[in-house]
C-alpha cells in the first residue's frame, strides 16, 4: 500500500520492492476509486462492506438457478459463506481474497442469467455474455487460483452456444481480457 501511496500506478507496478502472490489490480483499483485506501481502519471497513455483498450475490445466483425453492431456504444457504473462517477473516482484516470470491460469484450469476430459460432478448443475452466474460476474467486478476472460474464459464459457453460466431467472439474476449494479465 505504501508503494502505491508514494508512486504513480505505473511506477508502483514496476517498483523493485513490490512483491506478492497476486497481481496488483486490487491496489490499482483502490488507489483510483477508494478514497479511504490509505486510512487503515476505513479501508478495513470498505473491504468488510464489500465482503457483505458476497452472500447477497450468492442469494441472487441461487434464486435464478433454483426458482422453485423457497426464498428463506436460499437465504439461509447463501449466508452459510459467512460461517467460513477464511471468508470472515479476510473481510475483517481487509485481506485480498474476498475480491476474487465476490467476482467469482458474480461471474457465475451472470453465467446462469446467460442460459436462463426466460431470456429471449438477444441484446440482453449479449450483455450477460459480456458480464460473464468480464467478471470471470476479473476474478483471476484478483487471485490466480480462481482460474477455474473462467475455464468453467468458457466450457459452458463452448458446449451450450450454438453459433460459431458467438463462440469466436467469446474466445476473442477472453484473449483480449487476458492481455493485461500477461503484462502484470
pLDDT > 90: percent of the chain: 68
Q: What integer is the mean pLDDT of 140-161? A: 94
Asked if 37 and 30 touch (Cβ cutoff 8 Å), the reply is: yes
Banded model confidence at residue 14, pLDDT cuts 50, 70, 90: confident
Do the Cβ atoms of 99 and 50 come closer than 8 Å? yes
Q: Quick one: pLDDT band at residue 122, thresholds 50, 70, 90?
A: low
The pLDDT tens digits for 124-143 are 888 999 999 999 999 999 99
C-alpha cell at 171: 474466445
- Tens of pLDDT, residues 44-101: 999 999 999 999 999 999 999 998 999 999 999 999 999 999 999 999 998 889 999 9
Each residue of 109-126: b (16+ CB within 10 Å) or e? Answer: bbbbbbbeeeeeeeeebe
Please give the pLDDT value at position 42: 94
Nearest-CA neighbor of 146 among 95, 99, 76, 82?
Answer: 99
DSSP codes joined into one string, 47-96? HHHHHHHHHHHHHHHHHHH-TTS-HHHHHHHHGGGGG-HHHHHHHHTT-S
pTM for this model (two decimals): 0.89
Average pLDDT, the chain: 91
Contact 36, 46 (CB under 8 A): yes
Amino acid at each position: 500500500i505504501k508503494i502505491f501511496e508514494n508512486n504513480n500506478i505505473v511506477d508502483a507496478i514496476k517498483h523493485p520492492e513490490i512483491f506478492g502472490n497476486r497481481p496488483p489490480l486490487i491496489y490499482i483499483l483502490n488507489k483510483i476509486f477508494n478514497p479511504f485506501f490509505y486510512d487503515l481502519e476505513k479501508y478495513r471497513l470498505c473491504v468488510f462492506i464489500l465482503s457483505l455483498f458476497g452472500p447477497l450475490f450468492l442469494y441472487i445466483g441461487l434464486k435464478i438457478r433454483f426458482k422453485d425453492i423457497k426464498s428463506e431456504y436460499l437465504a439461509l444457504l447463501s449466508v452459510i459463506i459467512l460461517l467460513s473462517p477464511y471468508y470472515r477473516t479476510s473481510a475483517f482484516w481487509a485481506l485480498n481474497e474476498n475480491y476474487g470470491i465476490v467476482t467469482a460469484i458474480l461471474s457465475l450469476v451472470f453465467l446462469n442469467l446467460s442460459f436462463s430459460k426466460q431470456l429471449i432478448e438477444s441484446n440482453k443475452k449479449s450483455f450477460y455474455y459480456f458480464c460473464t466474460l468480464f467478471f470471470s476474467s476479473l476474478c483471476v486478476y484478483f487471485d490466480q487460483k480462481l482460474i477455474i472460474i473462467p475455464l468453467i464459464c468458457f466450457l459452458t459457453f463452448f458446449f451450450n452456444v450454438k453459433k460459431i460466431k458467438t463462440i469466436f467472439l467469446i474466445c476473442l474476449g477472453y484473449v483480449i481480457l487476458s492481455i493485461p494479465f500477461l503484462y502484470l
